[in-house]
Amino acid sequence: MTDEPSLPQADEESPEAVLLRALSLLLRGAGSDPLAPAAAPVPEPLLSVADAAGYLNVSTTTVRNLAIGGKLRSARIGDRIRFRRAWLDAWIDEGGGEVPAPPPPEPRAAPARAQAARPPRPARPKSPPKPKPPTCIQSVNGVELRLLSDAGRGTVYTWHAGDTRPLCGADGRWSRSLRRCPVATFCARCLTALAAMPGTDLSLFGIGHVYMLRMTTRGATPTPIRAGYHEGDGAKTLCGKREGPWALTERKPQTRECFDCDHRVRWRNRDLDSSFLVPRPMTPLCLLVDAGPLDPRVVDLAARHPGAVEVRQAAEPLPEDFSWQWARWDPAFAAATPVGSFQAPDASITGPRTHWTKWTLSDRSDVGTQFDDKFADRMEDWATTVERAYALYARWHREVAPRRAGRQRGGPGRA
């Protein structure tokens, strides 16, 4: 096709073109090229969400979600969302897109949901875990155990544990409503039953320290061995024994305490009171012997316990009023002649020397105590107990000292 008759020429215009030009001149006014096609169109007004929804033939919610989700190009003008038709056309040409799910949070959305969507704070895990506060309720094997108090009584001295009735089977009107863990003593039978259940946590009931009696089976029923008790946390004694079964109680039993546990408690408490080691047999024994022939048993005692018994003999006979004049004891002891070779133990273990136990030995009853066989046995007992305690303290000192040093270096640590 070489000839193009429909193209408008400058010289020969068609009647339709003349009419168009006249109309254009009327509408747009003079000054602009009336025949310039749509090169500089009048800016089209932006589309609102409703306009866009109508144009796309979808709901306004869909359009708003597409825009907020960033799937559909939009512009924010203040708090309004506006679109260019060209953006919608381009989006349609590219195949459109799905509405993002879940719908983005609106400012009016529930604050709980908005908070849940927030990313976790990064600083939290770095802080050391706080000790769990007692909750008074714990779930063991699907059974909810809680503290029970006898609602029938005015004052509560004993607390039990159970779901609705105490584990020990005691009768009463049991109250389950608890606002806080009690300070009262825990029922020993419930405590023992509780500790025997695997998965229980005594600390959740505020129980941290209990007295532990080992159980023995005589006949059908296991009974606690009353010969001696230990201290501990219910699972392990302070002296390190784990093998049970144990009968637990919060009340101090009226029996002898395990030597190791007893001294372990003293060692633990010595930071609270520097003179705590005073009560015998925690300190060395100072024996001041009256002048005269020396009893061979005294010499023997000093020789066999050089770290626990310090013996000295006065050069001059002690005065009659000496025994009740303790102020004169120390200078007299210092002036006396040493018997045997006493080796003073570590002062960090024994405490101050002025607190050591002192004794005057004399054949004269008005001056001191006579050294007979009974007294010799007593001193022997004392010396061996002191030595045993020192061995324990030395061991614990070795264990505790590095931990304390580490705590001072590295800030707060585990006690």
Q: Nearer to Zn ion by C-beta: 195 or 336? A: 195
Give the span between the Cα atoms of 14 and 396, in whole angstroms: 117
Determine, following the binding rule CB under 5 A, whether residue 195 of this chain makes contact with Zn ion.
no
Among positions 68, 168, 196, 299, the unique one binding Zn ion when judged by CB under 5 A: 168
Residue 117 CB contacts under 8 Å (≥ 6 apart), including other chains: 105
CB 400 to Zn ion: min, Å: 18
Closest CA to 92 of 104, 102, 83: 83
Among positions 64, 82, 146, 160, the unique one binding Zn ion when judged by CB under 5 A: 160
- Interface residues for Zn ion in 58-117 (CB under 5 A)? none
Helix H, strand E, coil C: the string for 370-381 is: CCCHHHHHHHHH
Q: Nearer to Zn ion by C-beta: 215 or 299? A: 215
Beta strands in 80-130 (DSSP E): 80-82
Q: Cβ atoms within 10 A of the Cβ of 110, count?
A: 10
Q: How many residues does this entry show for the chain?
A: 415
CB 166 to Zn ion: min, Å: 4
Strand 228-232, strand 210-218: pairing: antiparallel
Residue 113 CB contacts under 8 Å (≥ 6 apart), including other chains: 105
DSSP string covering 330-364: HHHHHHSEEES---PPPHHHH--GGGSEEEEE-SS
Determine, following the binding rule CB under 5 A, whether residue 237 of this chain makes contact with Zn ion.
yes
C-beta separation of 199 from 220 below 8 A: no
Among positions 52, 72, 145, 187, the unique one binding Zn ion when judged by CB under 5 A: 187
Among positions 56, 136, 148, 190, the unique one binding Zn ion when judged by CB under 5 A: 190
Identity of the amino acid at 257: E
CB 399 to Zn ion: min, Å: 16
- Interface residues for Zn ion in 9-28 (CB under 5 A)? none
Encoded one letter per residue, x for contact with Zn ion by CB under 5 A and - for no contact, window 258-297 reads x-xx------------------------------------
Among positions 47, 64, 65, 166, the unique one binding Zn ion when judged by CB under 5 A: 166
Among positions 146, 230, 305, 312, the unique one binding Zn ion when judged by CB under 5 A: 230
C-beta separation of 272 from 213 below 8 A: no
Closest CA to 391 of 307, 294, 269: 307
**Residue range at the interface with Zn ion (CB under 5 A); choices 142-150, 239-247, 387-395, 406-414:** 239-247
Encoded one letter per residue, x for contact with Zn ion by CB under 5 A and - for no contact, window 30-59 reads ------------------------------
Determine, following the binding rule CB under 5 A, whether residue 162 of this chain makes contact with Zn ion.
no
Dihedral sign computed on CA atoms, order 131, 137, 139, 145: positive
Q: What angle do CA 129, 131, 134 make, to 5 degrees?
A: 145
Q: Nearer to Zn ion by C-beta: 99 or 178? A: 178
Number of residues that bind Zn ion (CB under 5 A): 12
Q: Nearer to Zn ion by C-beta: 194 or 282? A: 194
User: Which residues here bind Zn ion, judged by CB under 5 A?
Assistant: 160, 166, 168, 187, 189-190, 230, 237, 239, 258, 260-261
